[in-house]
Chain A
Amino acid sequence: MESILNFITQYQEVIYIVILMIFVGIEVIGHVPSVLHTPLMSGANAIHGVVIIGAIIVMGKAEESNYLALILGFLAVVLGTLNVVGGFVVTDRMLEMFKKKK
């Protein structure tokens, strides 16, 4: 019990963010029309590409002699960038089609 309370106190900031973000995430897309399901999913897919930041940090911290970390980190940066760039471009291409035409 003690340790759980300690944990909550120590990480309270993070816990607040997680709980608030869950509600924000649900609230923000709550009224999406079904036409936009696919682009929205694609856009959300691009946003979780934010994992690239972790990849950059891991890559930037790797020691120059540690080849395994260098190679894996490099791979992580490539894959993360693919997720971000590809995700946003594909979403934009989908949404380009929704332009109102008369």
Chain B
Amino acid sequence: MELNILTLCYLIGSVTFIVGLKMLSNPATARKGNWIAAVGMGVAIVGTIFLYRDDEGARLHNYAWIFGGIAIGALIGTLAAKKVKMTAMPEMVSMFNGMGGACAALISLIEFGHIHDISAEPVGKLSIIFAGLVIGSVSFAGSMIAWGKLNGKVKDFDFPGQHMLNNILLLAAIGLSSWIIATEPASAPQLIYAVLGMALLYGVFFVLPIGGADMPVVISLLNSFTGIAAACGGFLYNNKVMLTGGILVGAAGTLLTILMCRAMNRSLMNVLIGSFGGGNKAAAAGAKQQGSYKEISLSDAAVVMAYANKVFIVPGYGLAVAQAQHACHELEKLLEAKGVEVKYAIHPVAGRMPGHMNVLLAEADVSYDKLEEMETANEQFESTDVVLILGANDVVNPAAKTDPSSPIYGMPILDVELAKAVIVNKRSMKPGYAGIENDLFFQKKTSMLFGDAKKVLQDLATEIKSL
């Protein structure tokens, strides 16, 4: 009876994961979908704690440890997730993903420790243990590096032959695992730590050379890795909810990774291997393009915008860093009061993660219907008087269309140069995340408005009020 109830719990869990994921991909139902999946997860967890029996029919023990661990994890997790700033959410996701990977790796490590006689174990079980260990560790180490990169603690770093070293590390980890499984040496309990070490190292070197702008793609990929690592646990315990949940995320995460790459018009291979952002290409592109740009004063910018018919705001990472979304909404309201039509043009990869800008602007109460996706925005730029670019750079760089040698060539961009005037707010003339110069800043209709996005927006608002 009890075991049948547990089976039912797992069935509920699996179904809610599928339904939840489905609802998460629609703006109207997303929030509910998240809750449905969470409830299903709760049912599966509670069921496991109280109803689980192993093959011999023994119940779980160590309840103090289990509840203690859950209490600590839940407390830290809730606090961290509640307190994190909107701009720091991507790295938070990466951090939580790494925790899941580490959890999967630890399970493998402990299960291996339980094996008394390695030669008596079926090859299938050993393979699953090692797969969970390697995938989980790579996901953990990679996620930690991605987390460090997004919050600026870890700098881009690569050296000649790094890709070669990566491949060797991965092959060595797989090779050693296979060798342990095939020959079942007596020293296996020690050797498994060597496998762990190599997998961790691989995770670090796998993410290190990839530019910070590509981190969302990497996190999404590591997310699907953790899914597969969780599924390995499902194999190990013949646990259907772990299996369905893990594979579901593995498949959906892989597709999501590809969708994100497509939004940037790049292939996954190109993201993983072509560590762009540093080096000669960027320097060469920068050298040939040093024309003159013109600045605009705050009061002039205020006048131009206040007397325009239609203003498009293009938010970028600069806005996120400056936490300027509320100031931006203020400006929008002031302009609307003056009869100006204000819209936001959101590039699919604006900010640090796809959808990042929408989340930020929504936080500042910007209405959902004011946000225009790239295609619709591009159709409207021709009838726009002023485009105000706030800390965005690569997503408005015409080089993506005109310069085949540019690393971002082929990426769809916002055609802001179609508008009558462009005002660019940046902190300095430094190139953007991809490390390349932007022709747009040197064009005739472009004027630069230097300064921190929040301060500039507040000053603009004051100027417009006094008009």
Contacts and interface: CB of A to CB of B under 8 A. Distances in A.
B373 A47 contact: no
A21 B30 contact: no
The interface centre, meaning the residue of A24, A45, A77, A90 with most chain B CB atoms within 10 A of its CB, is A45
B237 interface: yes
A82 B99 contact: yes
A86 B373 CA distance: 30
A31 B242 contact: no
The interface centre, meaning the residue of B100, B227, B367 with most chain A CB atoms within 10 A of its CB, is B100
Contacts of A69: 110, 113-114
B244 to A, nearest CB: 5
Given A85-B78, A89-B82, A25 B240 contact: no
Nearest to B143: A45
B242 A61 contact: no
B107 A47 contact: no
A5 interface: no
Contacts, number: 386
B77 A89 contact: yes
A19 to B, nearest CB: 9
B252 to A, nearest CB: 4
Interface string A64-100: 1010111011111111111111111111111111111
Interface string B79-104: 01110101001101101110110111
Interface in B128-155: none
B21 A25 contact: yes
A23 to B, nearest CB: 8
A30 B99 CA distance: 27
Interface string A13-57: 010011001111110111111111111111111111111111111
- Mostly helix, strand, loop or mixed at chain B's interface? helix
B21 A44 contact: yes
A75 B106 contact: yes
B252 A58 contact: no
B103 A32 contact: no
Interface residues of B, number: 118
Interface stretch (B158-166, B255-263, B278-286): B255-263
A90 B84 contact: yes
A18 B243 contact: yes
Contacts of B54: 57, 61
B45 A53 contact: yes
Contact of A53 (B99, B219, B242): B242
Nearest to B245: A50
Contact of A59 (B66, B72, B99): B66
A55 B59 CA distance: 15
Contact of A44 (B76, B102, B253, B362): B253
B367 A33 contact: no
B22 interface: yes
Interface string B12-28: 01000110111011110
Interface stretch (B180-188, B349-357, B423-431, B456-464): B349-357
B230 interface: yes
B106 A72 contact: yes
Given A17-B240, A24-B248, A29 B34 contact: no
Interface of A: 7, 11, 14, 17-18, 21-26, 28-62, 64, 66, 68-70, 72-102
10 contacts: A14-B243, A25-B252, A41-B256, A43-B37, A47-B249, A48-B226, A48-B229, A51-B100, A61-B61, A84-B41
* Closest A-B pairs by Cβ, 6 of them: A60-B60, A81-B73, A25-B251, A77-B69, A86-B77, A97-B362
